[in-house]
C-alpha cells in the first residue's frame, strides 16, 4: 500500500514549506535523521513520524496518512468528491452552499426543498451584499424612458 516517494515529498513541501528536514524534525520533536532515513529506506514516513509532523505544522493528520499510503482513500472515507456529494444530506448541501455564498441564517434554508432554498439563498445573498432595494415597476419603466430625441442629436454629427 506504499505511495510513491514523490507524493510523500509533495506532502512535506505543501505542509512544511521550505523548512529543512532538520527543522521539520526539531519542530516535530523527532531525531534529526529520521525523516531522511525513512524516506530513503521506506519511501514514506511511518505513522508516528507523519502524524508528528502534521501536528507540528497544524496540518490534518489524515492528509499525512493518505500521502504516506498509511491509509487508502477508501479507508479514510475520502474515495472521491462524487461519493462524498452523494453521501451528503440535502441539509448538508444547502448549508455548505450557503456557507460558500456567505449567507447569514443558512441553517434556516434546509427546511425547504433544495430548489427553493437555493433561490432564497441567491436572493438573500444578493440583497445582503448590496443592500439595494429592488426597483418597483414605475422606477424600471422610468429608467427606460428617455426624454432626449436621439435621432435629432445625431443629425448634427454629420454636418
Convert 19-37 into a string of H (helix), E (strand) and C (coil).
CCHHHHHHHCCCCCCHHHH
Share of the chain above pLDDT 70, in %: 62
Domain check: are 92 and 58 in the same one?
no
Q: Rounded distance, CA 141 to CA 59, Å?
A: 56
Q: Of 16, 11, 17, which is closest to residue 39 (Cα–Cα)?
A: 11
- Residue 116 vs residue 157, higher pLDDT: 116
Domain check: are 99 and 53 in the same one?
no
Lowest mean pLDDT among 21-35, 55-69, 95-109, 137-151: 137-151
Q: Rounded distance, CA 21 to CA 53, Å?
A: 10
Number of residues written out for the chain: 159
pLDDT of residue 136: 63
Domain check: are 63 and 111 in the same one?
no
Domain check: are 23 and 63 in the same one?
yes
Q: Rounded distance, CA 40 to CA 59, Å?
A: 23
- pTM score above 0.85: no
Query: Has residue 50 been placed in a domain?
Result: yes
- Residue 158 vs residue 102, higher pLDDT: 102
Domain range for 97: 88-133
pLDDT band at 94 (very low <50, low <70, confident <90, very high): confident
pLDDT band at 127 (very low <50, low <70, confident <90, very high): very low
pLDDT at 20 over 90: yes
Q: Which of 86-90, 120-124, 151-155 has the highest mean pLDDT?
A: 86-90
Q: Rounded distance, CA 70 to CA 51, Å?
A: 11
Q: Rounded distance, CA 82 to CA 101, Å?
A: 21
Query: Has residue 150 been placed in a domain?
Result: no
Query: Has residue 16 been placed in a domain?
Result: yes
Domain check: are 10 and 52 in the same one?
yes
Domain check: are 57 and 93 in the same one?
no
Q: For position 55, which CATH number holds? A: 1.10.260
Query: Has residue 78 been placed in a domain?
Result: no
Counted domains in the chain:
2
Query: Has residue 99 been placed in a domain?
Result: yes
Alpha carbon of 128 to those of 8, 95, 99, 110, 111: distances in Å? 44, 17, 14, 19, 21
Query: Has residue 80 been placed in a domain?
Result: no
pLDDT at 34 over 90: yes
Query: Has residue 103 been placed in a domain?
Result: yes
Query: Has residue 148 been placed in a domain?
Result: no
Domain check: are 96 and 62 in the same one?
no
Domain check: are 61 and 12 in the same one?
yes
CB 88 within 8 A of CB 97: no
Domain check: are 92 and 59 in the same one?
no
Amino acid at each position: 500500500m506504499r505511495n510513491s516517494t514523490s507524493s510523500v515529498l509533495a506532502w512535506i513541501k505543501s505542509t512544511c514549506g521550505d523548512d529543512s528536514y532538520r527543522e521539520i524534525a526539531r519542530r516535530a520533536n523527532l531525531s534529526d535523521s529520521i525523516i531522511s532515513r525513512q524516506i530513503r529506506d521506506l519511501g514514506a514516513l511511518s505513522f508516528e513520524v507523519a502524524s508528528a509532523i502534521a501536528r507540528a505544522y497544524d496540518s490534518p493528520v489524515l492528509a499525512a496518512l493518505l500521502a504516506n499510503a498509511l491509509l487508502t482513500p477508501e479507508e479514510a472515507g475520502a474515495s472521491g468528491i462524487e461519493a462524498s456529494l452523494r453521501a451528503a444530506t440535502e441539509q448538508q448541501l444547502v448549508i455548505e452552499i450557503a456557507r460558500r455564498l456567505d449567507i447569514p441564517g443558512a441553517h434556516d434554508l434546509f427546511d425547504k426543498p433544495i430548489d427553493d432554498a437555493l433561490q432564497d439563498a441567491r436572493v438573500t445573498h444578493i440583497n445582503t451584499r448590496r443592500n439595494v432595494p429592488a426597483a418597483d415597476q414605475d422606477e424600471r419603466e422610468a429608467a427606460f424612458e428617455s426624454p432626449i430625441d436621439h435621432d435629432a442629436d445625431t443629425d448634427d454629427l454629420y454636418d
